[in-house]
Chain A
């Protein structure tokens, strides 16, 4: 039965940035689908709350406080996973940030902010891929899901670090996908459009009225896509971006809400 193939029964999934928001939502959904979860993020208190929600589904949860911008901590995260569960089936590179820097003028952005952003959004995903790939190659199976952004494919006004780092994530996805295709490791990328996490972002994005479908996305809508990409139903997708954006990237050469007409 095809729906059963979405189950992640007995799989071990590392989810970075799972202390809150989308990461936590994915952790819980993965557990509901049958996976054991390694919850990695900086703040232990938040991770403990995620772990509680995961364990409530009956699955195991290993909490590994991790600063993903520090490669030695990311390596330790992978090692702790193998020590506890004996393998790594799924890596979700979800940790990231820097949306708050959107709108800052270029001359206001310091070297430290730029580097911190690139480290948080891009280096972190490279470190995590590097940490899990040898183990996945030994297993001859694995699934990597990188979270990028529509800004990784298109530019934005006053949007430098975020667009560059997410564009880098997309290219990282493609190169890992090609390199490890023969090791039965599928590496794919979720490309979210506008998903406001708070009221301020909702105002910044004007309630999403420029999005073709007429509303912004909700984090809960990304979790099923992650489940699909972690499941065997996506076994022949590799290096692929799945854009989840209410139609934004399908267009872009006309404003939303008006249509071109024939000259009369």
Chain B
């Protein structure tokens, strides 16, 4: 491999993708596999075996493994087991990608306490626990790199999305704090902020006035496809970004530049 590409290679690395059953998780797993990493695809959502299997198949024959949370496992127990499983099955855990996402839109006054718990768990708590559990393994094994996938709503307010905005902002600043805490432990922690996504759960693909006007509002009039995140993800997890930590890269076609 020519020198200009070598430091982007993930050859000999082991990666775990949390939320691998989602379109973004699947695209992340495929990109990591293509760049040479061995990949463990993990889902914390019971009942997503089919999506997970298909994602693993898309990653190909380069040693993709899967792990799905069993019905009675706690989130903590499952994520702890997943981190250990990566070491057992792939021989290590150099890369963690948190690709999970639990979109939630609705009036602030209509959301009950259970909605709060659900949105925080699906977007923030799982990321926090996965970072802790992977961090435990990485600290023992000499280091690693983490990428948390969050959203442009992490640093902008969106009406009808108060809980979602709060949770995504939590992920962004969790990323920065962990980056500083582990800066001298050889663990880099970065984030990717997605723009409005072209995937089935996204409000941007509903046939309504919001999605119609949104498309015209976007600087390049285009939604972000899960595979558009592959390049920035590869850069951040690869040795090429050895001096990059606590950073977040927005993949949004320029949306965050708007007033």
Contact = CB atoms under 8 A, between A and B. Distances in A.
Given A6-B8, A214-B184, A245 B258 contact: no
B246 A33 contact: no
Contacts of B250: 237, 240
A83 to B, nearest CB: 27
Contacts of B215: none
B35 A3 contact: yes
A140 to B, nearest CB: 12
A174 B256 CA distance: 9
A1 to B, nearest CB: 6
B214 interface: no
B5 A3 contact: yes
Contact of B224 (A217, A227, A236, A246): A236
Category for how many chain A residues contact B: 35 or more
B247 A181 contact: no
Given A182-B219, A233-B235, A239-B254, A3 B243 contact: no
Interface string A220-246: 010011011001111111111011111
B232 A239 contact: no
A233 B35 CA distance: 13
B249 interface: yes
B219 A213 contact: no
Contacts of A239: 219, 254, 256-257
B180 A250 contact: yes
A1 B180 CA distance: 33
Given A33-B5, A212-B246, A177 B257 contact: yes
A178 interface: yes
A249 B246 contact: yes
Interface string B162-186: 0000000000000111011101100
Given A182-B221, A239-B257, A246-B243, A212 B183 contact: yes
Interface in B225-247: 228, 230-232, 234-235, 240-247
B212 interface: no
> Which of B1, B5, B220, B224 is the most central at the interface, judged by chain A CB atoms within 10 Å of its CB?
B220
Interface in A1-33: 1-7, 29, 32-33
Interface string A163-200: 00000000000110110011010000000010000000
A251 interface: yes
A2 B183 CA distance: 28
A239 B252 CA distance: 9
Contact of A214 (B1, B183, B220, B258): B183
Interface of A: 1-7, 29, 32-33, 174-175, 177-178, 181-182, 184, 193, 212-214, 217-218, 221, 224-225, 227-228, 231-240, 242-251, 259
The 5 nearest A-B residue pairs measured at CB: A250-B246, A233-B231, A238-B254, A239-B257, A181-B219
12 contacts: A2-B35, A3-B35, A32-B3, A174-B257, A227-B4, A235-B231, A239-B256, A242-B247, A246-B245, A247-B180, A250-B245, A251-B246
Given A3-B9, A236-B222, A240-B252, 6 more contacts: A2-B234, A3-B34, A237-B250, A242-B244, A244-B241, A250-B176
